Structure 1
Amino acid sequence: MPPNGFVSLVGAGPGDADHLTLGALKALQLAQALLYDALVSEDILALAPQKCVKICVGKRGDRLSVSQDKTNELMVRLAKKGLHVVRLKGGDPSVFGRVEEERQYLDTHDIGHKTLPGVTAASAAAAQFSFPLTHRGEARSVTFLTGRTKDGAIDLRDESISDPMASLVFYMSSHNATHIEASLLRAGRSPQTPVVIIENAGRHSAQLRTGHLCNLAWLVCDASFDGPVLLGIGVAFAYARKLIAENLACVEVEAKHNSERLMATFGN
């Protein structure tokens, strides 16, 4: 370990431990200090050594949380004690994860670091509910956008959102659904453009609502989701299958029961 310790900036994926990469798992198992986001599950946290120092530095919208400056300071302070620090970030560090701010701070303080990617929520949602993000002949690009900026606004330029063959995925944007709907309609998107609204993408508790752009704001309001929400807008999202996650949960429960029955029968 370098004299100043080392920091691994690790993507935890959307929450389920099944989405961790092998690299992320290895980093967790070697962690001496763990600074983790609010949405990281207990199952993932349990993979770190028992003696590892664990500190929640997560941010949840407008709720009380640890500032980015404080998180940066904690990383450096712990690393300078000679520890391997894992900064465990929800999703992928490079997708709305402030990872470059943290790397620059570590560089400034001469702390070695590496970044390990994670599954971003949009990819997890696409797999979980069996829809594509791009689709030949219908959706030739996908754009990730954030609804949580420093001043709370979303700057949607017509040329970037008007293409009917572009899939749009909005992170942290449910509170701006009315503005998003109006902006896309004004830019020329069809009112019948398919939309999906997904809470807790990638988790067993994930929920899906489907509809059209003309009633996006109403759907978001009616759903009253409390967890992290993704908004998907574009023709590719018409392929979303609501029962995929429910069927998978049933299969997993049945498999667990079968394993328990086999152990009871043959275990002794």
Structure 2
Amino acid sequence: MEYLPIFVAAENRRVLVVGGGQVASRKIGLLIRSGAEIHVVAPELCEALRALAEEGSIHWRARAFRDEDLDDAWLVYVATDDPFLQRRVSREAAARRVLVNTVDDRDLCSFIMPAIVDRSPVMVAISTGGTSPVLARRIRDGVERLLPQATARLARFVGRVRDRISESISDFAQRRHFHEWLVDGPVGDALRAGREGEALSRFEQALSDGELISEGMVYVVGAGPGDPELLTLKALQTLQKADVIVHDGLVDPRVLELARRDADFIDVTKRAGYHRLPQERINQLLAELAEAGKVAVRLKGGDPFVFGRGGEEITHLRERGIRYEVVPGITAAVGCAAYAGLPLTHRDHAHSVWLVTAHCRDSVDELDWNDLAHSRQTLAFYMAVKQVGRVQQQLMAHGRDPDTPVAFVEHGCRPEQRVIVGRLGRMAELAREHELQSPSLIYVGEVAALAAELGWYGQVPLVDTDSEALRRVAV
């Protein structure tokens, strides 16, 4: 191990910075947060540092470095591109046994700065021993994605109650178990959800009663439209702590692979004419898992509150007094449109967007077709493959121009994505000719034509040249 990893208490301690440019400014930004007493030696300061000097946040000596500047310093940063000055400061600091960091010259350093993930008071430092700062930043980015922002709130809470736990629980093993419950149980969940009052109440009850109650939890999570990289950070964090994952058939298998390895999976796929479990049974299942003390994730394709029946599920959980959280996802209409190069709104073509479900004849007949048939708006139809003829018929019957562009996005945001662009008058015919399959989104509106030229993901869009306008695009 070339470097000893340590954290230094810098508050009210003298730190010397040699140099007054942008590099020095970046280092000083971190030092100010640590509470250090910062002294800067440089003939000139950049604008940002000059402002800090004027407000008294740093002490500036407007001259060249002198050896006595190192007196009483705990740490030294050399932020100058003058190699002679770098070597001089490093040599003098070593003679005084003062730790020095020379920016971009590891050989002159007695300490190096890691990449930092800051969830103060929790700090994660990542170092490659100075060999590859870029690699250290890449690793930091990965840790950032895995460590919730609420970690800071949780750490501060534990810090406030730590002494009370020690005073109340003398046995070391019992105390450790209480801390584990505090972080992983209902107190930690309440803090992560921003409910500090509830967290304190649950802590007080547990400390008073001496009983740690294992409470289940249900997370209703949106998996996004397909590509696992579109999963939100919070959804990823939730997947990795779930005991059981209750998932739809529309969830990409690559998303399921991101769950913790020992999680159980329950497939509750629902497609037209095929329901592995009815919705009422899914509601009951989620409640039963939570009542058994499990952390359950109800994982849905897209967003759970956009044609995902997430509202019904959390209503059932609330009626049973079960804790839940909702983690939104990128809904299919937005994600698939983006991957097809189809802007849902456009200053020249569409000023509004309608998200419409058309999974059966009854739902189609209940729609307000007079409003849907207006021009200069985008219609995004979910679950409409089997009703495409009915959708076409109703739109045209209520005045939508047969030459209105339409776009089908089949298996959007996945490697097998297919985009077909045509016009409303041939919409049903195109679906038959190309054997359109579920899951597919159907977009109707002037912006649909843009998919023919702006598509960037997957295979080249298929353009039906029956329309003169689309022929020009295809050419």
Instruction: Tell whether the structures are fold-level matches, with TM greater than 0.5.
Output: yes
Q: Does 1:106 align with 2:317?
A: yes
**Aligned partners of 2:362 and 2:397: how far apart in 1?**
22
**Aligned partners of 2:232 and 2:304: how far apart in 1?**
13
- 2:379 is matched with 168
Q: Tell me, yes or no, if the aligned pair for 2:407 and 2:443 is still in contact at 8 Å.
A: yes
**Aligned partners of 1:169 and 1:152: how far apart in 2?**
15
Structure 1 unmatched runs, 5+: 249-268
**Aligned partners of 1:56 and 1:97: how far apart in 2?**
15
TM-score (norm. length: structure 2):
0.50
- 1:215 is matched with 426
Q: Tell me, yes or no, if the aligned pair for 2:406 and 2:424 is still in contact at 8 Å.
A: yes
- 1:74 is matched with 285
- 1:244 is matched with 456
What is the aligned-residue identity percentage? Answer: 36
- 1:58 is matched with 269
Shift of 1:235: 0.4
Structure 2 unmatched runs, 5+: 1-184, 187-213, 461-475
**Aligned partners of 1:162 and 1:151: how far apart in 2?**
19
Computing the radius of gyration from Cα coordinates, the structure with the larger value is 2
Among residues 249, 254, 259, which one is paired with 1:43 in the alignment?
Answer: 254
Among residues 138, 144, 151, which one is paired with 2:349 in the alignment?
Answer: 138
Alignment deviations for residues 147-179 of structure 1 (CA, whole Å, 9 cap, x no partner) = 125945442323321210110010001111111
**Aligned partners of 2:343 and 2:223: how far apart in 1?**
22
Give the aligned residue type for 1:38.
Answer: G
**Aligned partners of 1:25 and 1:52: how far apart in 2?**
14
Q: Tell me, yes or no, if the aligned pair for 1:124 and 1:202 is still in contact at 8 Å.
A: yes
- 1:93 is matched with 304
Alignment deviations for residues 238-264 of structure 1 (CA, whole Å, 9 cap, x no partner) = 10037511379xxxxxxxxxxxxxxxx
Report the secondary structure of 2:458's partner residue.
helix
Q: 1:158 to 1:152 in 2, by over 3 A?
A: closer
> Which of 1 and 2 has higher RCO (CA within 8 Å, sep 6+)?
1
**Aligned partners of 1:175 and 1:192: how far apart in 2?**
22
Q: Tell me, yes or no, if the aligned pair for 1:156 and 1:183 is still in contact at 8 Å.
A: no
Q: Does 1:26 align with 2:227?
A: no
**Aligned partners of 1:92 and 1:33: how far apart in 2?**
19
**Aligned partners of 1:122 and 1:105: how far apart in 2?**
27
* Structure with greater proportional helix content: 2
- 1:127 is matched with 338
Q: Tell me, yes or no, if the aligned pair for 2:231 and 2:329 is still in contact at 8 Å.
A: yes
**Aligned partners of 1:46 and 1:153: how far apart in 2?**
36
Report the secondary structure of 1:241's partner residue.
helix
- 2:217 is matched with 6
Alignment deviations for residues 216-254 of structure 1 (CA, whole Å, 9 cap, x no partner) = 010111121333011100001110037511379xxxxxx
- 2:137 is matched with none
Report the secondary structure of 1:125's partner residue.
helix
Give the aligned residue type for 1:246.
Answer: G
**Aligned partners of 1:246 and 1:42: how far apart in 2?**
19
Q: Tell me, yes or no, if the aligned pair for 1:125 and 1:202 is still in contact at 8 Å.
A: yes
**Aligned partners of 1:186 and 1:118: how far apart in 2?**
35
**Aligned partners of 2:295 and 2:458: how far apart in 1?**
39
Q: 1:101 to 1:39 in 2, by over 3 A?
A: same
Give the aligned residue type for 1:131.
Answer: L
The RMSD of aligned alpha carbons is 1.7
- 1:253 is matched with none
Q: Tell me, yes or no, if the aligned pair for 1:7 and 1:75 is still in contact at 8 Å.
A: yes
